[in-house]
Amino acid sequence: MLFILKAFISLLIIVNPLDALAGFFALSADRPLEERRSIARTAAMAMTVILLVSVWLGEWVLMLFGISLGAFQVGGGLVVLLMAIAMLYARSSALTQTTAETDEAAGRDSIAIVPLAIPIMAGPGAISVAIHHAYHAGGVGARIVLSAVVLLVGYVIWMILRKGETIQAFFGLTGINILRRVAGLILAAVGVQIIANGLVDLFPGLMGSGSVGHLD
């Protein structure tokens, strides 16, 4: 149960629904209501598929390129930490800002896949966290549970995008910025823990020098 809770919270925060909502408003403001709902559904589905692929095939891709999980965790943890710092200052991370892609997407029929699903929601940080949890999940049964968590995150994101106007009206700009900072603080802790886990995998001797927990 603790694993499920950790996975859900960390994935939901790293997907960053507040930035996704801002991008959704910016790119679909002039679209009819039905089209906006279709975009929200497609973006959430695409993000879910990307994270599911990361859960089941992420480690294999790392092996294919000769990247150790420890090195990937350190690199991914740094990405997560940078995104958290941006959230603490209530601004979008450079890792999710896609000016050229956004401008190009504004003129296309659909913006759901790029840039909403990737890289705004399922960016490097989200993929890193998904692979990290998959590695520590262990067997096939645990990965199936993790996949269910990913599906739940996708559903929550869909609901947030679908009810975006209501959420924005309820919290207001100040409230959303406060939520972003709180989420950023939690995400910073997640990033540091992922880095610590990666360092222990790279240098097993560190385990003997102190107690290092795991973000299982």
pLDDT in tens, 28-57: 877 888 999 999 999 999 999 999 999 999
- The predicted pLDDT at position 142 comes to 93
For residue 145, which of 5, 32, 40 has the smallest C-alpha distance? 5
Contact 12, 188 (CB under 8 A): no
pLDDT digits (tens, 9 = 90+) for 121-134: 998 889 999 999 99
Residue 22: band (very low, low, confident or very high) from pLDDT cuts 50, 70, 90: confident
Which residue has better confidence, 52 or 176?
52
How much is the average pLDDT of 80-98?
69
pLDDT exceeds cutoff 50 at 213: yes
Closest CA to 27 of 126, 110, 124, 93: 110
Instruction: Decide: residue 166, CB within 10 A, 0-12 exposed, 13-18 middle, 19+ buried.
Output: exposed
